[in-house]
Amino acid sequence: MTSIPYAELQVTSNFTFLEGGSHPEELVMTAARLGHRAIAITDRNSLA
């Protein structure tokens, strides 16, 4: 059985005030550890 590639398309980092909880670097490292080839960091209300 072939696995379907997965990419999380709505991730918020701690640059999204009062919503995100992790630094962008942590999100990328975790995604890589889980075998994801991509994620989309979609911070809001930020200058980052």
Contact yes or no for 48/41 (Cβ under 8 A): no
CA-CA distance, 45 to 32, in Å (whole number)? Answer: 26
Tell me the residue type at 26: E
Confidence at residue 47, expressed as pLDDT on a 0 to 100 scale: 66
Closest by Cα among 3, 4, 1, 11 to 31: 11
Report percent pLDDT > 90 for the chain.
Answer: 42
For 26-36, the pLDDT digits (tens) are 999 999 999 89
**3 vs 1: which has the higher pLDDT:** 3
Residue carrying the six token digits 């072939």? 2
User: For residue 17, what are its two tokens?
Assistant: 């005030």
Instruction: Tell me the whole-structure pTM to 2 decimals.
Output: 0.76
